[in-house]
A and B are shown apart, each in its own frame.
Chain A
Amino acid sequence: MAHSARTDCPELPDFSLLKRLAQRSAHLPQHEVDKLYKVEHKPVVSTSDQLCFLIRPRIQTVKWIYVANADKAAGRFRRYKIIFTPRKFYACEAMLEEQGIFGEVTTDEWSFCLLPLDDDVISMELPEFFRDNFLAGDQRWVRTAGSALHLLHSLYGPFSKLYGIGRCSKMAYESWREQVEEGEQTARRAEIGKVFLIDRDVDFVTPLCSQVVYEGLVDDIFRIKCGCVEFGPDVTSSDKSLKVMLNSQDKVFNEIRNEHFSNVFGFLSQKARNLQGAYDKRRGMDIKQMKAFVSEELKGLKQEHRLLSMHIGASESIMKKKTKQDFQELLKTEHSLLEGFEIRESISFLEEHISRQVSRLSGRINNRLLSPTGLLPKDYRSLKAQYLQSYGADHLLTFSNLRQAGLLAEQPAGEALSAMESKVGKLVNDKTAGKLTDAFSSLARKSNFRALSRKLNLVPKSDEEYDLRVPRDMAYIFSGAYVLLSCKLVEQVLERDGWTGMDEVTRLLNGHEFAVTADARTQGDARRVVLVMFLGGCTFSEISALRFLGREKGYKFIVVTTAITNSSRLIESLLGNQI
């Protein structure tokens, strides 16, 4: 049997990983599986008479399997089976029916929906969730999300309380509740007490920020896929690439993953010194001690050595890339956008980058600017025009997508101040006068983010020195400049045990909040275990922030997400210039 597999989403999950997994398992040879192929838009070349396709339920991918028809025309008989994961969709089957191959091609469903990436992170590996739900408004994954929750509930429930915010969260909650009612109940000791559901579109600002905690940076730069990362030759300082799992098993990584990048170097060099010390111990050992050293310690030390040099390599590479990209200024720009100051300068920074076609960077930062602050129409139009000139006119379609997904907020022109601001803005371009325009513009901008940030105190006062080594709140995740909105909501709701007193905040967030007591009997430690489910993806920064919050407030957070995301992935999923 030949086995073809491809998930149609870009890159994730990793095919080679799947292949490795499949080959390692004893099952495939047992069933005489001949080979694994990636499903592509071309006929399958195989001598096998049975083909099995493991695919995401996407119409486009099913279309690729029409090659089955080509076989028939060639007078060749083969048996086909399609396994959809995590769900079978009616539309896909209808497609088979339409093509006249329904029945010849049998279908099945593999409801694989939870992939543990670490002790406290579970991914549904559904990156398309974001685009389907938040751009297209297609609710196909709502039930899948409900099922995932249901699965966790039946394993670790019953949950005592559920909170949530966002339209999709509410629907996922309902779907979960229905499935609970449909299914059987077994009395068990609860291991997860509370659940918090949150939609990605409740907080677009956080995932669009450049990440500066180690794990987030590694993801931004090297792209972590399914908990795995591939470090290129520049990191390994050899001619080979290295593929490694990044999770709490990696002792060195585990200690630095949640740290602000500025602390990572210090930590690594300390670690290197300790390691040197441990190696040095063997000097002056007698034979017996040496034997013990070799058998007990050496292996661990070697392991640590390997990990250490890898992460040092990675850090160096990060440093190199970031200095090349004017990272400092990018961060500064982001921070002032979050604070709402120096908008004029930020815009000119953007313009410069757009016109220099600084790759990747500006693609995101453009939007990053637009989303939190809301732009004056004049600025918006001019940035859009420059963007299109630099990156191609077909990004018109991207802009239309961004608007659709609610990522582009253009400030209505009605306000008197805006008009004044733009006039002043035209007249002056130098620094001192620029300050004046900033004062105007910050007055004029009354977008939701600004108000939310004030209400929840998301942007700490910038005149205070923030010691990143001794973080006092979640703001350290973004260099002390911004407390993650999503995680702040989690903190507040858990503290208040609901949304009481947060009317204004929920109003600014478009409502759809809920808090439900499901089973009041949960006691003990389970009450401190909180499942946070991100619908539409979450970033490593958010995970780090929740870990910090957990340590501070005595919670244990378990993150369930539809996929790990970051600014590039988020924007890429909204690109419109792809066929």
Chain B
Amino acid sequence: MMKSKADEEDYWNSSKFKAFTFDDEDDEFSRLKESKRAVNSIRYLVEEDDDEEEVEKVSWSGEPVGSISWSVSETAASNQKADREPAFPKVSADSGPMSRSHSGYSLSSLFKGKTKGGNFQSLADSPSDPSVRLYAPELRKPKSEYKDYVSDWSPEETVQRMQQGKVVSLEKFRSLQDKLLLLDYAVNAHDGNVITAVLIYLKRTLSKEVLFRELESRQTALRHLIHYLTETRDQRLLLELLRALGRMEDVALLQYKEHLSIADENRRRDFLKNCLSLPFSPEDSAHVQDHYTLLERQVIIETTDRQAERGGKVEVFQKFPRKASILNMPMITTLYYCCFYHYTESEGTFSCPLNIRQTFKISEKQYFVTALAARAKLKAWSDVDALFTSRNWLGFTRKKSPLSFQRVVDILQKNSAPTQVLQNYVALVDDAELRISLAQKHKCHDIVINTYRDLKDRQQLLGYQVKLKRGSAEERKIDELLNNPQIRWKN
């Protein structure tokens, strides 16, 4: 499933800082645990920004924040958490100052821009002492040095800037904690572009082991990485990742998928053979085995038949030249092909339909439908007839079909079977009404007439007679019936 329960919970809980949360479980708050302290300190900063609103108005971004009036209407589902209600649509005070802090012109903001950078690192160590950040002189760096720090955005600001498509530098996020914080903010922002961007940076700067380990608990980020690797076709790393996660079935499927890009049939067959040992689920394993066996046979059949066709000795290939090679065709197509070209072969050959049926455990119905269509196409009506014939223990033959006779008629008709053939099968339709309508459709007059006779329906017979050709045998037959005094008509 796409969304495992835990995944989802994780996901939404992690949106703590967006304030738009439906499902606030404050204490769980799992995603950002390791960075909680650092984040809290940012919050502190935010509140301070608020105090300095006067100065901040000079901000170059000039965004009038907080102008939308929000009011809240809780949904039924989140009602029980009514105490969290005000947090629902994000209150603008929360985020406003953050965006305003981009300001680069006012002195105070310059100062702050710098302290923010310095402070972020120092805070992780001493979050309890906020005064240090703003006032401690040792944190103030000479002006010339300040320039280097102008782009020292916090992880959250960095993510925000990335969302807006602005230039950022990720190089300063060097500690694992910083990197993960950056990633978590990106995930919180729900912007796949940013998440992938951060992941590309992490992939470059972290060892695989560390990256994979950290992603295991971050499903959203993990799926982005998997998609990224799929898109860049970094098969090797992707397989490593899936293995590290223990997703062996995915590993198997991914490797199996490679066969699609192998054009040469012999190489493809060998590749599939190698796939057999992959850790598929038992069910899929059987399908892959079938796939291999099928291609193996197709290669053999194709070689032989191509020669036979070129040789010009085999009649069926001359009369019905092959339209395409049988290579890489589905099983049923292969079966159809063999029913068409190799119907009478002995069971020992690879191309014998019965052999195929057995090897691939094709159901009776499926075999029947395929053989029927193939023989009908060749107009081999005696073969068609033989398909239905079964002998009971008394030695009588009767017609049996795993398919309704209505369908059989349908298939035969599509292969333009003549009326004489069709009526044999129309007659076998059990339901009288259905039989009549089929017979009428396919002009099997005898059946229509006999059925009406059996139903003792004189009116219908009279009606049908009108539709028939004057002086035809059918018309005479109806006349005879109508004049037959032994029939007791019901109307």
Given A139-B195, A355-B332, also A515-B73 (CB < 8 A)? yes
A390 on the interface (CB 8 Å rule)? yes
Main secondary structure of the interface of B (DSSP, over half): helix
Taken together as a complex, chains A and B put the C-alpha atoms of A375 and B407 apart, in Å, by: 26
On whether the beta carbons of B332 and A394 are closer than 8 Å, the reply is no
A500 x B76 contact (CB < 8 A)? yes
Quick check: A406 and B365 within 8 Å, CB to CB? no
- B403 contacts the other chain (Cβ, under 8 Å)? yes
A182 near B99 with CB under 8 A, answer yes
Interface pair A137/B72, CB less than 8 Å apart: no
Expressed in whole angstroms, the Cα–Cα distance for A137 and B67 within the complex equals: 34
Contact with B along A547-579 (1 / 0, CB 8 A): 000000000000000000000000000001111
Interface membership of B44, Cβ < 8 A: no
Q: Is B370 interfacial (CB 8 A cutoff)?
A: yes
Q: Do the beta carbons of B77 and A143 come within 8 Å of each other?
A: no
Q: Which residues of chain A are within 8 angstroms of B196 by Cβ–Cβ distance?
A: 89-91, 138, 140
Q: Are A386 and B363 in contact (CB under 8 A)?
A: yes
Evaluate contact between A90 and B193: CB separation under 8 angstroms. Answer: yes
Q: Is the Cβ of B90 less than 8 Å from the Cβ of A91? A: no
Knowing A59-B231, A404-B2, A405-B2, the reply to whether A352 touches B369 (Cβ < 8 A) is yes
Contact A499 B191 (CB under 8 A): no
Residue of B nearest to A401 (CB): B253
Query: With A and B bound together, what is the CA distance between A110 and B151 in angstroms?
Result: 27
Q: Among B75, B99, B294, B407, which residue has the most Cβ atoms of chain A within 10 A? A: B75
* A406 with B89, Cβ < 8 A, contacts A181-B96, A185-B68, A352-B369 known: no
Determine whether the beta carbon of B332 is less than 8 Å from that of A389.
yes
What residues on A are CB-neighbors of B362 within 8 Å? 389
Whether a CB of chain B sits under 8 angstroms from the CB of A519 is yes
B95 interface residue (CB < 8 Å to A): yes
Chain B window 407-449, contacts with chain A (Cβ cutoff 8 Å), 1 for yes, 0 for no:
1000100000000000000000000000000000000000000
Q: Let me know if B253 and A138 touch, CB within 8 A.
A: no
**Do A180 and B68 touch across chains, with their CB atoms under 8 A apart?**
yes
- State whether A137 touches B2 (Cβ < 8 A): yes
Q: Across the interface, do A499 and B92 meet the contact criterion of CB distance under 8 Å?
A: no
Which of chain A's residues have a CB closer than 8 A to the CB of B192? 132, 138-143
Does B158 sit within 8 A of A, measured CB to CB? no
Confirm or deny: A100 has a beta carbon within 8 angstroms of a beta carbon on chain B.
no
Q: Which of A35-43, A222-230, A502-510, A535-543 makes up part of the contact surface?
A: A502-510
Question: Which of the 9-residue segments B112-120, B177-185, B255-263 touches chain A?
Answer: B255-263
A270 near B: Cβ within 8 Å? no
* Complex: A351 Cα to B253 Cα, angstroms: 25
Q: How far is the CA of A91 from the CA of B99 in the complex (A)?
A: 25
B259 touches A158 (CB 8 A): no
Shortest beta-carbon distance from B408 to chain A in Å: 11
Tell whether A171 pairs with B257 under 8 Å between CB atoms, given A177-B20, A389-B362.
no
B369 / chain A contacts, CB cutoff of 8 Å = 352, 355-356
Tell me whether A428 is interfacial, beta carbon within 8 Å. Answer: no
B291 touches A499 (CB 8 A): no
Question: Which segment of B35-43, B280-288, B382-390 sits at the interface?
Answer: B280-288
The answer to whether B333 touches A393, judged by C-beta atoms less than 8 angstroms apart, is no
A396 engages B191 (CB within 8 Å): no
Shortest Cβ distance from residue B479 to the other chain A in the assembled complex, whole angstroms: 35
The reply on A278 being an interface residue by CB < 8 A is no
Q: Which of B319-334 contact A (CB under 8 A)?
A: 328-333
The verdict on A392 contacting chain B, using a C-beta distance below 8 Å, is yes
Minimum CB–CB distance for B268 against chain A, Å? 11
> B197 at the A/B interface (Cβ < 8 Å)?
yes
A161-190 interface code vs B (CB 8 A; 1 in, 0 out): 100000100110111011011111100000
Task: Give Cα A109 to B165, complex, Å.
Answer: 10
Residue of B15, B90, B164, B288 touching A393 (CB-CB under 8 A): B288
Q: A137-B223, A352-B407 in contact; A498/B88 too (CB < 8 A)?
A: no
Contacts of B232 in A (CB 8 A): 59, 91, 95
A498's partner among B73, B193, B200, B407 (CB-CB below 8 A) is: B73
The answer to whether residues A138 and B72 also contact, given A167-B3, A385-B287 and a CB cut-off of 8 A, is no
Q: Does A67 sit at the interface, judged by CB under 8 A? A: no
Of all chain A residues, the one with the shortest Cβ separation from B222 is: A137
Question: CB within 8 A of B67: which of A60, A185, A384?
Answer: A185
Residue A381 interfacial (CB < 8 Å)? yes
Q: Which size bracket describes the interface of A in this complex?
A: 35 or more
A109–B166 alpha-carbon span in the complex (Å): 13
Pair A516/B99 contact, Cβ less than 8 Å = no
Task: Decide: A514 and B71 in contact? CB cutoff 8 A.
Answer: no
| Cα distance A542–B287 in the bound complex, in angstroms | 38
Q: Please tell me if the beta carbons of B20 and A174 are within 8 angstroms of each other in the complex.
A: yes
CB distance from A204 to the nearest CB of B (A): 12
Query: Is A406 a contact of B68 with CB atoms below 8 Å?
Result: no
Cross-chain contact of B370 among A60, A173, A180, A355 (Cβ < 8 A)? A355
Asked whether, in the complex, the Cβ of A397 is within 8 Å of the Cβ of B253, the reply is: yes
Contact B224 A139 (CB under 8 A): yes
Q: Which residue of B lies closest to A578 (CB)?
A: B260
In the complex the two chains form, is A87's CB within 8 Å of B193's CB?
yes
Which residues of B in the span 287-322 have a Cβ within 8 Å of any Cβ on A?
Answer: 287-288, 290-291, 294
Q: Which of A412-451 contact B (CB under 8 A)?
A: none
Residues in B with CB closer than 8 Å to A393 are 287-288, 290-291, 294, 330-331
Closest residue of A by beta carbon distance from B254: A397
Q: Which residues of A contact B190 (CB under 8 A)?
A: 139, 142-143, 171, 174-175
Given contacts A88-B165, A140-B193, contact A158 B68 (CB under 8 A): yes
In whole Å, how far is A291's beta carbon from the nearest beta carbon of chain B? 52
Instruction: Give the complex CA separation of A91 and B229 in angstroms.
Output: 11
Q: Kindly provide the distance from the CB of B407 to the nearest chain A CB, expressed in whole angstroms.
A: 7
The proximity string for B residues 177-212 relative to A, scoring 1 for CB distances below 8 Å and 0 otherwise, is 000000000000011111111001000000000000
Tell me the smallest distance from the CB of A272 to a CB of chain B, in Å: 29
CB-contacts of B46-78 with A (<8 A): 63-78
* Closest CB in chain A relative to B11 CB, distance in Å: 8
Within the complex, the shortest CB–CB distance from B46 to chain A, in Å, comes to 14
The answer to whether A400 has its CB under 8 Å from any CB of chain B is yes
CB-based contact A396/B284 at 8 Å? yes
Q: Mark B156-168, 1 if CB is under 8 A from A, else 0.
A: 0000001111000
Complex: A59 Cα to B234 Cα, angstroms = 12
B90: shortest Cβ distance to chain A, in Å?
6
Mask for A101-118, Cβ within 8 A of B = 1, else 0?
Answer: 000000001000000000
Q: In whole angstroms, how far apart are the Cα atoms of A87 and B165 in the complex?
A: 10
A134–B2 contact, CB under 8 A? yes
Taking A60-B231, A355-B366, A579-B261 as known contacts, 13 extra A-B pairs with beta carbons closer than 8 A to each other, sorted by chain A number, are A136-B226, A138-B192, A171-B190, A175-B190, A181-B68, A352-B403, A389-B331, A389-B362, A400-B250, A511-B22, A513-B75, A517-B73, A579-B260
User: Can you spell out 21 A-B residue pairs with CB atoms less than 8 angstroms apart?
Assistant: A91-B193, A137-B223, A139-B195, A140-B196, A143-B191, A143-B192, A174-B190, A181-B65, A351-B363, A352-B407, A388-B290, A388-B331, A389-B332, A396-B284, A397-B257, A400-B253, A498-B75, A499-B77, A506-B77, A514-B75, A579-B261
The 5 closest A-B pairs by CB, nearest first: A140-B192, A137-B223, A393-B291, A139-B192, A90-B197
A interface residues with partner B (beta carbon < 8 Å): 58-60, 87-91, 94-95, 109, 132, 134-143, 158, 161, 167, 170-171, 173-175, 177-178, 180-185, 201, 351-352, 355-357, 381, 384-386, 388-394, 396-397, 400, 403-406, 498-503, 506, 510-520, 576-579
